[in-house]
Structure 1
Amino acid sequence: MRYLRMENWIHNLDSFYITKDDQKIMFRDDFITSEERVTGLGKGIYTTYKYFDTYIWEEDSTNHYYFEWIPKVDENIKEVHFPDSFVCEDKDGYSTIPYMQGLLIPNRYDYDYSHIAFDGQFTSCAAYMPWLSQTNNGLGYVAINETPWDSKYTIDHDDKGTRLQFVWLTSLGKMRYKRVVRYSFESNMDYNRAAKIYREYVKETGLFKSLKEKEVTLPKISDLQQCAVVHTGIKAHTEKDSRFYTGQKDVIHSFDSVKEMVQSLHKLGSNKLYLHLDGWADPGYDNCHPDYLPACIEAGGWSGLKDLQKSLSSQNDLFGLHDQYRDYYYTAKTHNENEAIQLEDGSVFEHANWAGGRQNYLCASLAPKYVKRNYTEILKHINLDCVYLDVFSCNEMDECFNLEHLMTRKECMEYRRACFQYMISKGIIPSSEECSDWAMRELVFSHYGPYEFMMKDENEKRMGIPVPLFNLVYHDCFILPWPMEKRQEDYMLYALLNGGIPYVVRNAPYDNVDGNFGSDGLSIEDRITRANNVLDFYQRIKNEEMVEHKIINDHIQQCKYSNNVTIEINTKENTYRIV
């Protein structure tokens, strides 16, 4: 077939599956027969194996290739590695991965990719978008995962090149349904072209929804686009069984103190602000979810929170609450293990990673009802512009084996989307932790959508070269707040390059987690000036497509937008210019 005739590329015949007793079996060892098929859509090769079939065919109308894995019986299969991988051994080749904001991996780049976030699961921050790409001197492909719910990818990287492979996981213990990857092979492929092919794909499938379209039902989006972000909290409490417990006492800031802080920011030069408020309820940040109410009594209770909200509204600022419907704490008044995620062996997973201590995961099938229960009460007391539902758009999808609320990963995705849709129905702008595109029809913004290097100490080795893959696809669909720390590199430059909105205050709840590595020493006046500069530029390109990203050299990058505005940053000199 034509896709095999790519010079300097190796097509590995390396597809295999893993049995539930961990045996690795190559496809070729189970081969029975193959035949050529011609249909009204195209032609290809249908191959029959012992427990499954494959169909690899070219679509006549588009020249796309579809690689289909078709289960016949669930004969003890745990995971399937298919299609065969491609490798370009040329030193100029590279792989493109939508890992967080985006990652380019040169063929000779030295890094261990055996331990990536969420084991490489699609629909998590390991892949904001379900596609992979490789290219060498323009010759390459983009592979779009059309069935991403129960799948992940692997990166096998050595001094010869990089092998990317899709891995298909069971759904509730069985393979169940057909898995499909669409490959587009082109002679002018690079990471920009790969992103634009995927942009065309999400427009065709209906996942693409611009900010202008979202604004029809959520008119305050245009207000949010004028805001710098203030992230701060009210109450911090750490349970003794939490990994973060070191004997610390509770810390409580009154609602009035936050009101005064926001007012002082305006006096110092901030214009419109969006307040993202952590720890606003009585249990404190990351505690007792989903039984989180009432508003923190010691901070002023419902009346204090209402006064804060009214003050923000009077200043034309926006207000949103941080909330959580996955972490399910044993300290919650109505906690019941029967409502938690149940694993295949009947056990209930638990850990004590966060401030609230011992917890399970709430089955997402119940999350929309808990959201409705809580916000029926919350909206009796305050008005909200935005709500942040933590982890939904960052962490992998869950599956639950409890027969009372059996749930596949795909169903988990729909339940999470239902939580966002509930907010939209109330005129509230929904956000979540990161910007996985399965939620692109509902989500308007997120906590961030960073490059991977921003989440670790700046002296740690980077996974590759950062490239703005997400924004090349979705800049005109999504509002991304960006960290603004000034360290060896000035992160403000990336906020400008990516056309995002800035954080002006970022009081994160945990140290050395999620990119929070302490103060960079800038004064609040400097932070306000820098945030205003980023906001001024954002107004010029806020509803525009990011057309192209260019790497000029190791330190200089450019982004061009659809209104012909181009911005250039220099990370060595920590400067920028609008070209």
Structure 2
Amino acid sequence: MSTNKKPIVWVAAGALAAFGLYQFAYGATVEPQATLGQSKIVLNKKEGAFPYRANNYTMPEQAAAAVVSRTIPADYKKIGESNGLELYMAGKTLAIMVKNKATGYVWASMPSDADLANANLNEEWQTAIKSPLLLEYYTADEMLSSASYMSLGGKVDKVEPIEQGIRIDITLAAIKAGLSLEVKLDGDSLVVSIPQKSMWEKGAEKLASIQPYPFMGAVHKADIPGYMFIPDRSGALIRFSKSHIQFDEPYVAKIYGTDYSSDSLDSATGRSSVPVFGVVHGTKQNGVLGIIEDGRYNAKIVAYPSGLSTDFYWVSPKFEIRYGYFQPTSKTMGGYNTFQKDPIKTDRQVRYEFLGGQDADYIGMAKSYRTYLQNKGELTKEKKEKSNADIPLQLRLLGGETEASTFGAQVVPMTTFAQSKKIVDELMKDGIKNMKTVLDGWNKGGWNGKRPAEFPVESKLGGASGLKDLQKYLAGKGIPLYLTNNYTIAFDNSNLLNFRSDAVRALNNEINEFPYFGWGSDSFFDDIMARDINPGKAMKLAKDDTESMKKLGVDGIALDWTGTVLVSDYNKKHPYTREQSAEAYRKLAEGFKGSLKELAIYQANDYMWKYADTLFGIDNGSSQYMYETDTVPFMQTVLHGYIDYFANPSNSSSNPREDTLRMIDYGQYPSYLLTYEPYWKLRDTPSVDLLTTQYTDLEQPLSEMYKAMNQALRQVQDATIESREVPDYGLSAVKYSNGIEIVVNYTSNDYSYNGVSVKAKSFVIIGGE
């Protein structure tokens, strides 16, 4: 570990910056008024709506005429019918149409002839858009090439009826490969699947990826009003527009994030915690939600705005079949590009849910996905009633941190267990009684001294006896205590692993190793190396820790990274596919859930939700890529009323007041990362970037923020989000299942909503107490 030190001048400057930030954020009175939960904050009255037209907000919907449905041509034959849908297919092109019987609207997998005639398409894209499949394959000389069903000389070998649909055996003559495409109705859903056992290859070329019916719901320019939904962080929209800047690249999100064992680091522009996407043709008129089922662990969501390659807006799943990689042959990085010889063995399937009327928007999509998860047993509602209690606060306490010195690494105690009691006492005196207390750096070596955190408990914080005493103290006040750990990465100083056998290996057989604090950063701890842990080993480590936690009487664990980062392991002795890794983490979580009272997970992917009591660090924004027009609370709509979810710590925010309003808008609970000792003591630690953590500096803004949020959200804790309207730029109105409506005004101007005055930078509660 490096022993270099940051200049103390930098820390002093940081202190002044933090002071200025909190003067700006909390200089005005933030105590909620007794009437309608209105804050007293009022800023620039001449600000106008311009700042709220940015893509980190949601735009108001513009009035639009009813979207005219396409007619079903005579060459399309009906191949399935359910209570709500009719399914048709064109024999020549294999294109499909789906009629929503409730609305009469017809969805198509291929644009109309008129749109194709008006589109500025080269020959390659003319062929691609008319194809039921887009593909990538590796050539005989191991180069990656793009193609389509038609460009590869696709032909139908066999057509076989199946229940409510059809199975088509396809040959791709140009590359001597083939597969079966199944299209059917399952209840009131359309299901498109490619069974793994149907895929075959007889030539030198090998399939790399496949996109079935990628142009389902595609829109030419802005000929139809509406948008595409993409699951970027909390959720984002790409609205159909005739005029926009020229985009350089599409949205490409690996579902569940980058697989560092097989993905190139520049292969994706985003990540998604849920395997969904959607299209709206006329808000509150027609919508479709795509849910990637089989094959989702090795799939991406790809969305193209108009003007990028074609004049169409389109969004599609992209299923990986095999990965390419660089195989080094020397220590000087000589080597060659190659690809997996064997395909990833999984079926590939996408389900489409069709929405109409009031449910035809991003909220309706979220509700549809919520129902889908409920039906699969992956999302269950808590039995306890909470709406009469105060909302919870995540009280995240940094215990010990590692410090570099000339005598080696040592622990800097930032919050001892005795000091933790004092912080809790002070917050309870301020009226905050519902807390989830999370201890970071409780272990020997401190927060960044060891990963995973290792027992015994750090003696400088009070040791095991001090932790037991804190646990009993908090239990007496009804406050759960969580210890933070992660079982996904290990630092090179860990005593728990044999890295030759326990570290994850990439496709090229090299160990997944990286500088934990970044490549080429100015961090003085960039010599701390991390390695991914084999999921099987992770389960064993977690099981051992469970027994130690039970002995200490700890209520729960807060899993960091383990519910978020998902990698394959290509170690030949104990390989794990990405799907098997996810299942291992589910079993790990299930073990904690069965042994401890509470399980919290940071930024959890949806396959972990079944086991989580609490979700920490949930994003309440999008990545704000240039092609994104809106940020929306899709994730929060799915979760609200089922699992408590918290934002990132407010004292890490550049605009806490804005984020407080956004948390109220998104139904999200607050979080603070605190220390007892002053934050300047972190100047020689990896946590030097934490500028404001001392609880005495933050007690007042924390208390004021909590009171406002508690007033806003206390009555809707058990309720689900049922609708969200944006009456004007910088405004939102969220309706809950218990009839309560919360209206948030982000702007610096007062606003009248249905006769109710909403003060600037404030909120009102309509209904309830």
TM range (shorter): 0.7 to 0.9
- CA distance in 1: counterparts of 2:546 and 2:246, whole angstroms: 46
Q: Does 1:474 align with 2:621?
A: no
Letter in 2 for 1:152: K
How far apart are the structure 2 equivalents of 1:505 and 1:63? Answer: 44
Q: Spell out, residue by residue over 1:37-66, the C-alpha distance to the aligned partner (whole angstroms, 9 max, x if none).
A: 422332465533342324252317425242
The CA distance in 1 between the partners of 2:628 and 2:409, in whole Å, is 35
- In 2, Cα distance between the equivalents of 1:426 and 1:63? 39
Structure 1 counterpart of 2:314: 163
- Residues in 2 aligned to 1:327 and 1:112: alpha-carbon distance in whole angstroms: 36
- 1:135 — aligned with what? 280
CA 451–499 in structure 1, closer or farther in 2 if over 3 Å, else same: closer
Per-residue deviation, residues 240-283 of structure 1 (Å, max 9, x unmatched): 9xxxxxx9985322222222122122223322222111111112
Pair 1:518–1:464, CA change in 2 (3 A): farther
Distance in 2, Cα, partners of 1:234 & 1:519: 12
Say yes or no: does 1:16 pair with 2:135.
Answer: yes
Is 1:73 the counterpart of 2:173? The answer is no
Q: Describe the shift of the 1:504–1:403 C-alpha distance in structure 2 as closer, same or farther (beyond 3 A).
A: closer
Q: Is the 8 A contact 1:435 1:445 kept in 2?
A: no
Which of residues 492, 498, 514 in structure 2 aligns to 1:351?
514
Say which structure, 1 or 2, has more relative contact order (CA 8 Å, 6+ apart).
Answer: 2
Match of 2:253 in 1: 120
Cα distance per residue 1:58-99 (max 9 Å; x no partner) = 317425242436552366333334432343134333111122
Cα contact 1:343–1:401 (8 A) shared by 2: yes
User: Structure 1 residues 275 and 61 mapped into 2: Cα distance closer, same or farther (>3 Å)?
Assistant: closer
Task: Determine the C-alpha separation between the residues in 2 that align with 1:41 and 1:177.
Answer: 23
Write the distance in 1 (CA, Å) between the matches of 2:580 and 2:665. 36
For 2:716 and 2:111, how far apart are their aligned partners in 1? 39
Three-state SS of the structure 1 residue aligned to 2:636 is helix
In the alignment, what sits opposite 1:244? none
Higher mean Cα deviation, 161-170 or 321-330?
Answer: 161-170
Paired residue secondary structure (1:335): coil
Aligned equivalent of 2:226: 93
Question: 1:506, 1:153 → 2: CA distance?
Answer: 38
Partner of 1:52: 178
Q: How does 1:523-534 map to 2 (within 5 A)?
A: 523-534=698-709
Q: Equivalents in 2 of 1:279, 1:347: separation in Å?
A: 30
Structure 1: which 5+ runs fail to align?
241-246
| 1:23/1:529 CA distance change after superposition, 3 Å | same
Query: How far apart are the structure 1 equivalents of 2:484 and 2:250?
Result: 30
| TM-score, reference length from structure 2 | 0.66
Alignment correspondent of 2:47: none
* Equivalent residue, structure 2, for 1:435: 604
Q: 1:341 aligns with which of 504, 514, 520?
A: 504
SS at match of 1:501: coil
The amino acid across from 2:761 in the alignment is N
For residue 102 of structure 1, report the CA deviation from its aligned partner: 1.4
DSSP 3-state at the match of 2:599 = strand
Label 1:404 to 1:223 Cα distance change in 2 as closer, same or farther (>3 A): farther
Determine the C-alpha separation between the residues in 2 that align with 1:486 and 1:577.
24
Structure 2 counterpart of 1:25: 147
Distance 1:492 1:503, change over 3 A: same
CA RMSD of aligned residues (A): 3.5
**Paired letter, 1:352:** P
**Structure 2 partner of 1:150:** 298
Aligned to 1:243: none
Secondary structure in 2 aligned to 1:482? coil
Q: Is contact 1:504-1:531 (8 Å) kept?
A: no
Equivalences for residues 102-251 of structure 1 within 5 A:
102-108=235-241, 114=249, 120-124=253-257, 126-137=271-282, 138-147=285-294, 148-159=296-307, 160=311, 162-170=313-321, 173=340, 174-186=343-355, 188=357, 189-212=360-383, 226-237=391-402, 250-251=411-412
- Cα offset for 1:146? 1.0
**Relative to 1, partners in 2 of residues 1:55 and 1:374: Cα closer, same or farther, differing over 3 Å?**
same
Cα distance in 2, alignment partners of residues 465 and 32 from structure 1? 39
Tell me the matched-pair count: 558
State the alpha-carbon separation in 1 of the partners of residues 718 and 735 from structure 2.
Answer: 13
Aligned to 2:662: 494
Larger Rg: 2
SS at match of 1:53: strand
The 1:236/1:206 distance shift into structure 2, 3 A limit, reads same
Deviation at 1:486, TM superposition (A): 7.5
Match of residue 214 from structure 2: 84
Matching of residue 577 in structure 1 with residue 764 in structure 2: yes
Return the letter of the residue paired with 1:146: E
Deviates more, 1:91-100 or 1:522-531: 522-531
